[in-house]
Structure 1
Amino acid sequence: MSASKAGQAGAQDVLSGDHGSAHLIAENVHCVLGDRLVLRDVSLKVSRGERVGLIGENGRGKSTLLRALAGELALQRGQVVRAVAGQVGFLPQQPGFPVGATIETVLARATAEFVDMAERMRAAEELMSTGHDGSSGDGPGKGGSGREDVGKDDLSEVLSEYGRLQDEFDRRGGWELDARVGEVLDVFGLGTLDRLRPTETLSGGERSRLALAELVLAEPAGLLLDEPTNHLDDRAVDWLVQWLAQYQGPCLIASHDRLLLDTAVTAIVDLDGPRGTTVRYGGGYRDYLDERSAAQARWWQQYRAWRQELAETRRKLERATRTGRTFGGMRDSDKLSYNLAGGGAQAAAARATRAARQQLGRLLDEEVHRPPEPLAFQPPESEGAEPSDGVLLRAAGLVVGDVVRGVDLELAPGSLHVVTGANGAGKSTLLTVLAGLRVPDAGAVVGEPGLRIGYLPQESDFSQERRGVLDTFAAHRSAYVDDAARELTRFGLFGTADFDVPVNRLSVGQLRRLELALLFSRRPHLLLLDEPTNHLSLALVEQLQEAIEQFTGPVVMVTHDRALREHHRDNLLELAEGRLAPSA
């Protein structure tokens, strides 16, 4: 557990005696890391009893904001206030432990407060049972035993303190501490590990789960959690959700886990740190989606109204200009009639022209940008990939090393398979074979002539790419730059300001967006998707899920995304011991 640190630049700890007023606050927090602005005057408050889900694009400052609230970053300006009666526990994505720490010492640190409370209760019990404070010596006021008697007022104070300690100890499960430690270790997959094992010998996932176990056991006065479910199985996530529901301190959770956000949080905050915005939505994840959908509908309505008013204003300007030209000339022989009619009409036309121009200028200054289109796969061209037997791709007897042993699979239009399995089971290997990127040791993959496969790898490989986003996209698409620019911006995956950014400098989330843009531009007949929701914002995940559901071709999807698996629970296949079979 990483505890909050007092005295850090821009951070202030306030020991709140009133549990009801406990809160965590960031006020105009501004943070630059290296040469990159991460947080621009961001403000946020989390009060007691609130579990706020922190969401946003990758690279927009969620982890940085958590580190700032934990007191682990010096701020360029702004302030962090932690008004809690105790420490604030912080779970980073990559937790560390002291040199030489073992599982046992981590557990001892987590339960130290319980040990302290137990010792204080024992001391109070001794005072109450003997009626003295245990001191010795001779002198006035000493009893024959040489011990000072405890007065009634002092005894009353001891009783009050003992009652408070007992209530707190009982509320936090101190009487069942050993059982609680065992339960937490078991549910987080650590129960079988030797408690004397050094923490540096643990895997990354084991270290993350141990750090989370430490927080759960210590139950600090406030919580800052960065992707707490990253290394948890379904059972552990369910257990954590139930534990969080009982937690009473202020809690801020940065997460992409849609089920966690839908079941464990009381509010959602969408962060765009570089822009300095935090948009708060009441309720859980579904409420956030509803509010966002309504905002998107309002945006389209405002855009259409703006376009209509713009078109009407241009028509007014054109009519006024034509009218001005009609009365723009005066014949020498017709001065009287011109003065009577043409002069007034020309003045009216001039006024109308000025008003229309002013209105046009205002509209252009207050432009409502076109909202991005929802993600959608365009129908592929008609040529090729028209199966006679309804199967676009057929895999038979696939064998790859020890991870794929005799896999058979037929992919027809409209079919969808979600492949699950343990890490290392061979799921990604199977997709690369189906995509034609790897030759199996045995068996064969046969696709229809002209079949265009849309393959989304788990990790992007643009490390050697030095060109900008637009030039890279155009090169991969073999398209003219102007056509590529229109295609790249259609879904809002990139803005024009990103076009010249070298691809090898993109964040992992931006690289994922580039992969998605290429995937949609291919107009595939068949989709092979390896962890498609990795590194994407939640809004983009929802759009991608809807686009996949509307896709008419076959889909094979490998995912650990619990919400996706739950949504497609009737289409689950499990790869285990090299075999692919319907999930139990």
Structure 2
Amino acid sequence: MSDTNAGRTGGAQDILSGDHRSAHLLAENVHCVLGDRLVLRDVSLKVSRGERVGLIGENGRGKSTLLRAIAGELPVQRGQVVRAVAGQVGFLPQEPGFPAGATIETVLARATAEFGEMAERMRAAEELMSSGTEDLSEVLGEYGRLQDEFARRGGWELDARVGEVLDVFGLGNLDRLRLTATLSGGERSRLALAALVLTEPAGLLLDEPTNHLDDRAVDWLIPWLARYQGPCLIASHDRVLLDKAVTAIVDLDGSRGTTVRYGGGYRDYLDERAAARARWWQQYRDWRQELVEARRRLDRAARSGRTFGGRQDSDKLSYDLAGGGAQAAAARATRAARQQLGRLLDEEVLRPPEPLAFRPPEDDPEGDPAGESAERTGDGVLLRAAALAVGDVLRDVDLELAPGSRHVITGPNGSGKSTLLSALAGLRTPDGGVVTGEPGLRIGYLPQESDFSGERRGVLETFAAHRAAYVDDAARELTRFGLFASADFDVPVNRLSVGQLRRLELALLFSRRPNLLLLDEPTNHLSLDLVEQLQDAVEQFTGPVVMVTHDRALRERHRDSLLELVEGRLTRPV
């Protein structure tokens, strides 16, 4: 923050939008520091009525902070927040809270209180009409407006609507007198979302609204959002929701102060990103070609200058007549070539990062012992689990992993999915059964949560140590896919965001050149651009893959490979 702005503070204001067409939510040059960390730097964003903007970006880039600032729950150090709507703005944080002593019933009563107020106003209007003491035309007009609004928002079917919303969000069987403090985190999130749906506020701010929803609930919520007409800002990694419910996408990097807006839904965003990447590669190729040509011109000019660089006394007359002019021309050409080369170097176009891709193990100097061994066995199976049992979560699990095989495992939280992957990776000893792999098999294991606890070294030093690689080689590997810039190499790992830690895990995964992949929630905490790249890299990988995921788009893509872990056993979903 500059000294000239050090004393300035930001603010938020609510403006009653007289014309619903002008309703909007606005953040203008918002600057926010949490603790000693700059989260938002002069970020600006506007969401108008009828717009449903998907807010994307890696974890730790400021999405939740921006939503909280617009909602008025977080003061900003600089900039302005405006909520110009005819009513309240509804906000769904990732971890919603309720007043002390609140029950499910009191939350629902508060959410539907406006319907009771409208019903009371309609009864009052009916009494005025029957008394004949007021201007009948004015009372009738007000009564008609109230009836239309009441009907539009489903007031006549309110009880049935409350029951439907609770049922679709998995709350229908809960006692409505139950204290919200006794609910699980997922139940509290679903109750808060249900309350917003029933209230249907004048504006919406939603932070990962599908995090705790099953497929049925998501299928219900997406059309509801698509019909919503107020200004709506949704922070989400859910590609299905972004594809079907939003009208624009904003990619946020708050600490860098950037917001890049893409028109349309998720597919339009992917198309625009692909086009931008293609333009970048073309600019890089053009720059490289110009650089080569500039160096050639400089070399030719230098050689031309050397041709006339010396003369003998007897050649003085001929040199004065021809050589002097040629040498001057060569000098001018040399200066022009140097200037052009200097300009090109000053305007360097950086090489675009390569898309994520697994390098074949046979390219590795260590060879491919697993592949050779697999050929000798005759059946091609690289890893086999037989009658695997771990505690109460896995019972008699059998799995064979051969090159090209794909297994996408789903199941409720706590069903043992992560336990299965860690056992297959050899990181957990099973209580029963056996896991056997081919000699020399290199397993690429991506855990659900990054574990670099206690790591104080910088990114590059940590990566090099985990890879047992020279620093120069490690630097090339880290920058190859654009997962880290060289400016980040010295950042201590314990200060990385969740998204950056995930990038470090990815860098280690790709550097191992695995024969087999075990991926636990691989799309968690990644930017959507990286999610798409990782998805493509996995599809091009020729070895066996086992993925555990709740990502609906990923499950849809591998529908024929789905396995469900239920009561300790792997089964094909019905």
In the TM superposition, residue 383 of structure 1 has moved relative to its aligned partner by 2.9
Residue matched to 2:340: 359
Answer whether contact 2:393 2:415 (CA < 8 A) is retained.
Answer: yes
Residue matched to 2:265: 284
In the TM superposition, residue 453 of structure 1 has moved relative to its aligned partner by 0.5
Give me the whole-angstrom Cα distance separating, in 2, the residues matched to 1:579 and 1:89: 42
In the TM superposition, residue 9 of structure 1 has moved relative to its aligned partner by 4.6
1:514 matched to 2:504 = yes
- What do the CA deviations read for 1:352-399 (whole angstroms, capped 9, x no partner)? 111111111111111111000000000013431131211111110111
Alignment of 1:51-200 (within 5 A): 51-131=52-132, 150-151=133-134, 154-200=135-181
Give me the whole-angstrom Cα distance separating, in 2, the residues matched to 1:516 and 1:344: 61
Match of 1:523 among 513, 521, 526: 513
Instruction: Give the match's secondary structure for 1:385.
Output: helix
Amino acid at match of 1:36: R
Match of 1:370 among 339, 348, 351: 351
Residue matched to 1:14: 15
In the TM superposition, residue 285 of structure 1 has moved relative to its aligned partner by 0.1
Residue matched to 1:147: none
Give me the whole-angstrom Cα distance separating, in 2, the residues matched to 1:321 and 1:37: 51
Give me the whole-angstrom Cα distance separating, in 1, the residues matched to 2:13 and 2:313: 85
* Greater alpha carbon shift after TM alignment, 533-542 vs 154-163: 154-163
Give me the whole-angstrom Cα distance separating, in 1, the residues matched to 2:303 and 2:94: 67
Aligned residues: 557
Give me the whole-angstrom Cα distance separating, in 1, the residues matched to 2:488 and 2:555: 33
Residue matched to 2:26: 25
Residue matched to 1:503: 493
Give me the whole-angstrom Cα distance separating, in 2, the residues matched to 1:331 and 1:61: 73
Residue matched to 1:559: 549
- What do the CA deviations read for 1:62-118 (whole angstroms, capped 9, x no partner)? 111111111122222211111110011111111111122111111111011111001
Give me the whole-angstrom Cα distance separating, in 2, the residues matched to 1:36 and 1:354: 48
Residue matched to 2:400: 410
In the TM superposition, residue 329 of structure 1 has moved relative to its aligned partner by 2.1
Residue matched to 2:431: 441
1:262 matched to 2:243 = yes
Residue matched to 2:284: 303
Give me the whole-angstrom Cα distance separating, in 2, the residues matched to 1:281 and 1:488: 29
Give me the whole-angstrom Cα distance separating, in 2, the residues matched to 1:324 and 1:276: 50
Amino acid at match of 1:81: V
Instruction: Give the match's secondary structure for 1:556.
Output: strand
Answer whether contact 2:10 2:30 (CA < 8 A) is retained.
Answer: no
In the TM superposition, residue 20 of structure 1 has moved relative to its aligned partner by 1.5
In the TM superposition, residue 333 of structure 1 has moved relative to its aligned partner by 2.0
Residue matched to 1:478: 468
Residue matched to 1:384: 369
Residue matched to 2:296: 315
1:230 matched to 2:220 = no
Root-mean-square deviation (CA), in Å? 1.1
Give me the whole-angstrom Cα distance separating, in 2, the residues matched to 1:357 and 1:506: 42
TM-score in terms of structure 1 length: 0.94
Amino acid at match of 2:304: T
* Greater alpha carbon shift after TM alignment, 361-370 vs 167-176: 361-370
Give me the whole-angstrom Cα distance separating, in 2, the residues matched to 1:446 and 1:405: 17
Amino acid at match of 2:291: L
In the TM superposition, residue 280 of structure 1 has moved relative to its aligned partner by 1.1
Give me the whole-angstrom Cα distance separating, in 2, the residues matched to 1:340 and 1:72: 83
Give me the whole-angstrom Cα distance separating, in 1, the residues matched to 2:512 and 2:84: 53
Q: Which has the larger radius of gyration?
A: 1
Instruction: Give the match's secondary structure for 2:357.
Output: coil
1:249 matched to 2:250 = no
Structure 1 residues 473, 303: closer, same or farther in 2, change over 3 A? same
Instruction: Give the match's secondary structure for 1:396.
Output: strand
Give me the whole-angstrom Cα distance separating, in 1, the residues matched to 2:565 and 2:224: 32
Instruction: Give the match's secondary structure for 1:575.
Output: strand
Give me the whole-angstrom Cα distance separating, in 2, the residues matched to 1:191 and 1:471: 52
In the TM superposition, residue 326 of structure 1 has moved relative to its aligned partner by 2.1
In the TM superposition, residue 130 of structure 1 has moved relative to its aligned partner by 2.6
TM-score in terms of structure 2 length: 0.96
Unaligned runs of 5+ in 1: 1-7, 132-149
In the TM superposition, residue 290 of structure 1 has moved relative to its aligned partner by 0.5
Give me the whole-angstrom Cα distance separating, in 1, the residues matched to 2:342 and 2:36: 38
In the TM superposition, residue 462 of structure 1 has moved relative to its aligned partner by 0.3
- What do the CA deviations read for 1:111-147 (whole angstroms, capped 9, x no partner)? 111110011111111111232xxxxxxxxxxxxxxxx
- What do the CA deviations read for 1:443-489 (whole angstroms, capped 9, x no partner)? 10110111110000000110111110000000010100000000110
Residue matched to 1:42: 43
- What do the CA deviations read for 1:525-580 (whole angstroms, capped 9, x no partner)? 00000000000000000000000000000000000000000000000001101111
Give me the whole-angstrom Cα distance separating, in 1, the residues matched to 2:151 and 2:568: 49
Instruction: Give the match's secondary structure for 2:241.
Output: helix
